[in-house]
Structure 1
Amino acid sequence: MTITLYSLCGTDAARPFSPHCWKVVMALHHKGLVFEERPLAFTAIPTVENGASKTVPVLRDGQELVSDSFRIAQYLEEAYPDAPSLFGGPGGEAAARLVEGYAQHVVHGAITRIALIDIHDMLDPIDQAYFRKSREERLGKSLEEIAAGRDAAIAALPAALQPLRHMLSFQPFVGGEKPLFGDYILFGALQWLRITTGSLHLPEDDPVSRWFVRCLDLHKGVARAVA
C-alpha cells in the first residue's frame, strides 16, 4: 500500500522546503520505504485528509494517519522494525528529543531571521497574506523589520551552530559513524535555509558545512536534487 507524505511548498511544487517535512523525507529513505510526496501550499493543508491537521508533515500509511515529524519517526520505527533504525534504541530516541529542542529553540530562530522574506517571496499571493499575518503575530514585528536585521542574523548563525560543530569534532554524524534521526532533525533545518535562501551562509570548510554535504549525499542524493 502506498505511503503518502503531505509536505509544504510555495508556488513551485518541486521545491518543498519545510524543515519538519525534510526530517520525514530523510527518515523514509533511511527506512528504505517507497512513498509519494504531495507538497501543499500553506492554505491547502486543511483541505486534505478531512482537515486532520493544520500543519505538515502528515503521513498516510494505509489506515494510519500520523502528524508531527517526531511522532512520524516513532511510528516508522514501530511499524517497520526490520528496516534500519532511526534511533538506535531508546537512548537514541531520548537524545533525539534533546536535538529537537536545540533545533527548534535555537537553530530555527536563527534561520527564521535570515529566511523570512525569502519564504514570503516563494508563495502565491493568498499564501503570502496568510504567512505575513501569522508570522507577524507570532514574532511581534513586521516582516520588513525582521528582514532589516538579516545581515546580523547571518553573522550570528555560526555561533548558534556551535553545539553541532562541537559534536562533529568527535564523529562524522550526530548518530555517530552513521546518521540517525538526530541528524535529520538538524539537516532539515539547514535544508530549509538552503532551499529558501540559496545558501547555508557558512564557509565551505566549516565542519557543519562538511557534515551537511555528507547528508546531501545520503540516500542517492535525494536532498541534493531540490534546490
Structure 2
Amino acid sequence: MSRVLYSLCGADGSVPFSPHCWKVVLALKHKGLDFEEKPVGFTEIAKLENGFSKTVPILRDGDQLIADSFAIAIYLEQTYPDRPSLFSGEGGLAMARFVEAWSQATLHPAVTRIAVKHIHDMLGPVDQAYFRESREARLGATLEEVVTGREAEIAAFPEKCAPLRNMLKFQPFIGGNEPLFCDYIVFGAFQWAALTGNTGLLDPNDPVANWFERCLEFTQEG
C-alpha cells in the first residue's frame, strides 16, 4: 500500500516546517508505518489530490484521503489498532484534545509573532505574496510591525511553557513514560519555531528543552 504525506515547505523543499504536519510525521513513526513525504508550497496546496483540502497535512493511505492532523491521528489509531497506540485509551484521546487547544491558544500565537517574518523570507516569490496578504489580514498589522514586538515575545515565551515544565517534574513525556500524540502536538509547535530559524527560545537546561530533545531523537529513528 502506498502512503503519502503532503506537507508544507518554503523555497527549500528539504525543510518542511508546518507544526501540524510534524504531528503527523511523528504519529506515522509512532505507528511504525512507512510513508513518503511530499512537501509543497502554500499556493500549491489547492492543486493537491484534485483540491481535496485547502490545508496540509493531507495523508493518502492507499485509496483513503484524510486531512487535518488530529483527524489523521484518529484514522491511524482506528485503522492500525495492532500498532502502538497514539492515545493509550479514551483518556489519552481526551487529553490530546485539551493539549491541542492549549498549544493552539498559547504556543501557536507566540511562535507566529516570533517567526512570521522568518517564514515569509523562506518562501518563494508567489508564496511570499500570498503569505504576506493572508497573515497581515489575520494579524491586523504588517509583518514589519509584528517584528517590532518579536523580542518581547521571545522574552515571554519561557513563562508560556510553565504548565509543561511543571508536569515534566513527574514524568519524561506528556504521555507518561513514553510519548503519545499529545507530545507530538506540542513538539510540532517547537519544531515549527526551530525550522523557521528561531532556536534558543528556552535555556538549554530547561526541562522543556530537554523534553524537546527527547522527542527530536524519536524523529530520527527508523
TM interval, shorter chain, is over 0.9
Deviation at 1:5, TM superposition (A): 0.4
Amino acid at match of 1:96: A
Q: Which structure 2 residues correspond to residues 70-219 of structure 1 after superposition, within 5 A?
A: 70-219=70-219
Unaligned 5+ runs, structure 1: 223-227
Decide whether the 8 Å contact of 2:58 with 2:67 is kept in 1: yes
Question: Matched residue of 1:21: which SS?
Answer: helix
What is the CA–CA distance in structure 2 between the aligned matches of 1:167 and 1:86, rounded to whole Å?
Answer: 19
What is the CA–CA distance in structure 2 between the aligned matches of 1:162 and 1:40, rounded to whole Å?
Answer: 34
Structure 1 residues 219 and 189, CA, compared in 2 at 3 Å: closer, same or farther?
closer
Deviation at 1:67, TM superposition (A): 0.4
Decide whether the 8 Å contact of 1:30 with 1:219 is kept in 2: no
Deviation at 1:220, TM superposition (A): 3.6
Question: Matched residue of 1:82: which SS?
Answer: coil
> What is the CA RMSD across the aligned residues, in angstroms?
0.9
Decide whether the 8 Å contact of 2:202 with 2:209 is kept in 1: yes
What is the CA–CA distance in structure 1 between the aligned matches of 2:221 and 2:198, rounded to whole Å?
Answer: 17
Q: How many pairs are equivalent?
A: 222
Amino acid at match of 2:206: D
Deviation at 1:198, TM superposition (A): 4.3
Deviation at 1:166, TM superposition (A): 1.2
Tell me the percent identity: 60
1:141-198: CA deviations, max 9, x gaps? 1101100111000001001111111111110000000000000000000000000024
Deviation at 1:57, TM superposition (A): 0.3
Q: Which residue of 2 aligns with 1:58?
A: 58
What is the CA–CA distance in structure 2 between the aligned matches of 1:145 and 1:39, rounded to whole Å?
Answer: 29
Amino acid at match of 1:189: A
What is the CA–CA distance in structure 2 between the aligned matches of 1:206 and 1:136, rounded to whole Å?
Answer: 33
TM-score by length of 1: 0.96
Deviation at 1:219, TM superposition (A): 4.6
Amino acid at match of 2:38: R
What is the CA–CA distance in structure 2 between the aligned matches of 1:132 and 1:164, rounded to whole Å?
Answer: 32
What is the CA–CA distance in structure 2 between the aligned matches of 1:200 and 1:129, rounded to whole Å?
Answer: 29
Question: Matched residue of 1:81: which SS?
Answer: coil
What is the CA–CA distance in structure 2 between the aligned matches of 1:187 and 1:214, rounded to whole Å?
Answer: 10
Unaligned 5+ runs, structure 2: none
Question: Matched residue of 2:201: which SS?
Answer: coil
Structure 1 residues 82 and 12, CA, compared in 2 at 3 Å: closer, same or farther?
same
What is the CA–CA distance in structure 2 between the aligned matches of 1:168 and 1:201, rounded to whole Å?
Answer: 18
Decide whether the 8 Å contact of 1:23 with 1:69 is kept in 2: yes
Decide whether the 8 Å contact of 1:193 with 1:200 is kept in 2: no
